[in-house]
């Protein structure tokens, strides 16, 4: 379990503040199955995200705001065949050819190909968080890249 204190937070050293920036509602067949809360640094403009799954009340092992490095971006990975809350997952992605992330069961490792910051895989697709802030996203069908 990680903990973050105000003294170790990068924002506490430079007067930066993290503020609520928006939300993405995740819908399946018109019904909400979860959301992504989006926060942003006032100084660096870096986006921070937190996933909220409908019906999941467990507390995460990580305490504090989820962080990403400068080479990563936030995406939502969507399984093409599942239904419901286990169909999608908020992940950090890079522009590498291949990447691995942990499935919604928090145990299974998923390996996918990545092109132009998007998952290209027979089982999974993805969309960029930055392109859908304050929108509802219907994940019943794959979204074509912009």
Residue ranges covered by each domain of the chain: 10-138
Q: Read off the pTM.
A: 0.82
50-65: average pLDDT: 68
88-108: average pLDDT: 90
Query: Residue 145's pLDDT is what?
Result: 65
Residue 59 is classified by DSSP as P
Q: What share of the chain is helix, strand, coil (3-state, %, to 5)?
A: 10, 45, 45
Tell me the pLDDT band of 144, cut-offs 50, 70 and 90: low
Question: Over 90: is that where the pLDDT of 28 sits?
Answer: yes
Strands, sheet with 88-93, edge to edge from the N-terminal-most edge strand: 88-93, 73-79, 124-128
Query: Residue 43's pLDDT is what?
Result: 93
What tokens appear for 110 in the block? 């998923």
Distance CA 88, CA 63 (A): 22
Tell me the pLDDT band of 115, cut-offs 50, 70 and 90: very high
Of 120, 140, 118, whose CA–CA distance to 129 is shortest?
Answer: 118
Cα 104 from chain centroid (whole Å): 12
Query: Residue 1's pLDDT is what?
Result: 37
């Amino acid at each position: 379990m990680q903990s973050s204190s105000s003294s170790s937070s990068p924002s506490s050293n430079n007067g930066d503040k993290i503020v609520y920036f928006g939300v993405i509602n995740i819908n399946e067949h018109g019904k909400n199955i979860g959301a992504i809360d989006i926060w942003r640094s006032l100084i660096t403009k870096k986006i921070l995200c937190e996933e909220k799954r409908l019906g999941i009340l467990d507390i995460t092992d990580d305490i504090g705001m989820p962080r990403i490095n400068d080479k990563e971006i936030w995406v939502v990975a969507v399984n093409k065949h599942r239904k419901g809350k286990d169909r999608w997952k908020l992940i950090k992605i890079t522009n590498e050819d291949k990447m691995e992330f942990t499935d919604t069961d928090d145990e299974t490792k998923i390996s996918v190909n990545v092109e132009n910051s998007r998952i290209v895989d027979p089982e999974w697709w993805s969309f960029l968080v930055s392109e859908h802030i304050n929108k509802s996203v219907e994940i019943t069908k794959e979204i074509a890249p912009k």
